[in-house]
Chains A and B, each alone.
Chain A
Amino acid sequence: MIGYILKRLGLALLVALAVSAITFFLLRLSGDVALAIAGEGAQKEDLDLIRKTYGLDRPLVVQYVDWLWQTLQGDFGTSLYFKTDVSRLVLDKLPTTIILGFTALGFALLIAIPLGVLAAVYANSWIDRLALAIAVVGQALPNFFFALILVMVFSITLRWLPVSGSGTWLHFIMPTIALGYYVAPAFMRLIRAGMIEVLSADYIRTARAKGLPTHKVIFKHALRNAVVPVVALTAVQLGFLLGGSVVIETIFALDGLGYLAYQSITYKDFPVMQVIVLLLSILYVLLTLASDIANAWLDPRIRVA
């Protein structure tokens, strides 16, 4: 198990390295850093001077190695727009995004587990179809659109919740719902499929033959076995959550990493973008690893062996 984890950590490092290289080159290809620094309409002489000062006239590979070396030493550079340390900037925004990620995941599971279980227990009934409809709407509706509907209903019509900002926990409610509903359908369908399979298993018949009440058969004997693949999906969905949070945080002006990513793209703030992408990719790989470990722990056949 330890060897396995170490191997996976090594792989995570390689992935992070590859992602950093790809983002570095793609970002440089997408725009001129010197122009971003000097601003539109700068003189050619100024641009040349900036290129020389920041070493932008060197080959891209040399620049990348230089950046990587600094990054490894803990120097993430300075934001071109905010004029502060990138590390400071990112660390300030990270908690907001992590909180949103977990509340959205929690909300997604909160609706996906009961709906998935109900849909499986009453498969092919109207309950199943209703759950399917809820899932299809969640998957088909763009999350920014759903977010705007939420704003219209809860902020403008009912005036219950603030439209935007990130001061209090009230500001997290709509982003959580919008982002959670966006990832819930995948969980729901997986739980439904898993439960349908597990409910026809022999050990479910054994549990019923013992005279256990239905809720115990479903939640103790069936759900525990159906939930194993869900844990693996959680990592993938957390990736969606991180991506989705860029859109959702921007709509609600929630001051997190996603909103910062949006701002840095708008202002061509290359150092910030670079670090955010790197951070998100590392987070994603680590989450995948964590879900694999959780998976092993949930299935005693893997754990004990």
Chain B
Amino acid sequence: MSETILDVDGLSVDIATPRGALHAVRDISFSVKRGETLCLVGESGCGKSMTSLAIMDLLPKAATRTARRLTFADEDLGKASRKRVNALRGDRMAMIFQEPMTALNPAYTIGNQLVEAYRQHRNASEAEAREQAVHLLDKVGIASAAQRLGQYPHQLSGGLRQRVMIAMALMCGPDLLIADEPTTALDVTIQAQILRLLADLQRELGIAMVLITHDLGIVARIADRVAVMYAGQIVEEGPTASLFANPRHPYTQGLIDCIPVPGRTVPGGRLGTIPGVVPSLVGEIRGCSFRDRCSHARDICAATVPLKETADGHQWRCILENAV
């Protein structure tokens, strides 16, 4: 059960802009094992989505991906042909997107879109694929699944569409599921349902899941490990319990302070905020990228930041001893 499904080492994504290269993702490394959920956390624009798109080879044309190592089940994705990548995508690695409203093609029925991947990868007949589609719609909690197949995306609510997206991603029984803020566009009540569904399915099917979110409340509930991203870097990574109980990076601490905790946060009291904005990622970036917003910042923070690690695999990038 400890087989590594996804291994990322030194992944960077640069986007060409008129003002120079934008370093959207800077030299990040992490790995996900079978049956494990890794949460990628961070503010908007910190490179979470770019990371997921880079793994799936779905980056926009202007973006380039480099990595020392990028392997999926010991297969080098960096060297894989486009045909090979297409064979893996939708079959063994699948992705769920942020916007269920626009992620489904408005011109085709959901049945049509559900069976596609299965027919493509399994060489299955239409009938077999539809059977599998009904089975999965059932599994993601959609009632009268067989009738739903004939419906168009615009006839479904956002929550239902996201369930369809999840079913679609699971059609071929993937080893890796990447969910890019799957609940951001949904109502709060629906968010909880979708997350529970994802967590249950992940456990039941034993898949490796990378869940991208900016909601730490979600993370605490379902993640095995957490990676906190800031300005394109992973600034802290570790087992969920360790990271929440003992955050080492001032940014992680800042994020945790932003969540109200029943019983501990004083009613009517102020929640924590992190002042300032994310720095520009264009051009050369030196030293700690969080130092402009960090209350512990000193002159030394402009120097190269070391990567520190404890025995339980908790890593962070901060030059200060015990800043938090």
Chain A positions near chain B (C-beta within 8 angstroms): 201-203, 205-213, 216, 221, 224-225, 298-301, 304
- Bound-state CA distance A301–B152 (Å) is 8
Contact present for B106 and A212 (CB under 8 Å):
no
B94 at the interface (CB under 8 A from A): yes
Q: Which residues of B sit under 8 angstroms from A301, Cβ to Cβ?
A: 106, 152, 154
Contact present for B120 and A201 (CB under 8 Å):
no
Contact present for B154 and A202 (CB under 8 Å):
no
Contact present for A210 and B106 (CB under 8 Å):
no
Q: Which residues of B sit under 8 angstroms from A221, Cβ to Cβ?
A: 105, 108
Contact present for A206 and B120 (CB under 8 Å):
no
- Bound-state CA distance A209–B106 (Å) is 17
- Bound-state CA distance A201–B99 (Å) is 11
Q: Which residues of B sit under 8 angstroms from A299, Cβ to Cβ?
A: 106-107
Q: Which residues of B sit under 8 angstroms from A210, Cβ to Cβ?
A: 89-90, 94, 116-117, 120, 168
- Bound-state CA distance A270–B27 (Å) is 81
Q: Which residues of A sit under 8 angstroms from B58, Cβ to Cβ?
A: 205, 208-209
| Residue contacts A-B, CB under 8 angstroms, 16 given | A202-B102, A203-B105, A208-B89, A209-B89, A210-B116, A210-B117, A210-B120, A211-B87, A211-B90, A212-B116, A221-B108, A224-B107, A300-B106, A300-B154, A301-B154, A304-B152
Known: A211-B89, A212-B117, A300-B154. A206 touches B105 (CB 8 A): yes
Q: Which residues of B sit under 8 angstroms from A201, Cβ to Cβ?
A: 102
- A sample of 10 more A-B contacts (CB under 8 A), given A206-B103, A209-B95, A211-B117, is A203-B106, A206-B97, A207-B105, A209-B58, A211-B85, A211-B86, A211-B88, A212-B116, A224-B108, A301-B106
B104 at the interface (CB under 8 A from A): yes
- Bound-state CA distance A202–B116 (Å) is 17
- Bound-state CA distance A210–B113 (Å) is 10
Interface centre among A206, A224, A225 (most CB of B within 10 A): A206
**Which residue from A211, A224, A300 sits with its C-beta under 8 Å from B91?**
A211
Residue of A nearest to B112 (CB): A220
Give 10 closest A-B pairs by Cβ, nearest first: A211-B90, A210-B90, A211-B89, A202-B102, A210-B117, A203-B105, A211-B86, A209-B95, A300-B152, A202-B103
- Bound-state CA distance A203–B108 (Å) is 11
B265 at the interface (CB under 8 A from A): no
- Shortest beta-carbon distance, B79 to chain A, in Å? 18
B201 at the interface (CB under 8 A from A): no
Contact present for A205 and B89 (CB under 8 Å):
no
- Bound-state CA distance A207–B154 (Å) is 18
- Bound-state CA distance A71–B311 (Å) is 97
- Shortest beta-carbon distance, B19 to chain A, in Å? 20
Contact present for B56 and A209 (CB under 8 Å):
yes
Cβ < 8 Å to A, chain B residues 149-194: 152, 154-155, 165, 168
Cβ < 8 Å to A, chain B residues 117-170: 117, 120-121, 152, 154-155, 165, 168
Known: A212-B116, A301-B152, A304-B155. A206 touches B88 (CB 8 A): no
Interface centre among A202, A205, A210, A300 (most CB of B within 10 A): A210
Interface centre among A203, A208, A298, A301 (most CB of B within 10 A): A203
- Bound-state CA distance A216–B242 (Å) is 46
Q: Which residues of B sit under 8 angstroms from A202, Cβ to Cβ?
A: 97, 99, 102-103
- Shortest beta-carbon distance, A289 to chain B, in Å? 23
- Bound-state CA distance A128–B85 (Å) is 27
- Bound-state CA distance A132–B299 (Å) is 57
Contact present for A300 and B107 (CB under 8 Å):
yes
Contact present for B120 and A211 (CB under 8 Å):
yes
- Shortest beta-carbon distance, B41 to chain A, in Å? 22
Q: Which residues of A sit under 8 angstroms from B56, Cβ to Cβ?
A: 209
Q: Which residues of A sit under 8 angstroms from B88, Cβ to Cβ?
A: 211
- Bound-state CA distance A300–B106 (Å) is 8
- Shortest beta-carbon distance, A191 to chain B, in Å? 16
Q: Which residues of B sit under 8 angstroms from A216, Cβ to Cβ?
A: 120
- Bound-state CA distance A263–B102 (Å) is 55
- Bound-state CA distance A298–B117 (Å) is 24
- Shortest beta-carbon distance, A222 to chain B, in Å? 9
Q: Which residues of B sit under 8 angstroms from A203, Cβ to Cβ?
A: 102-106
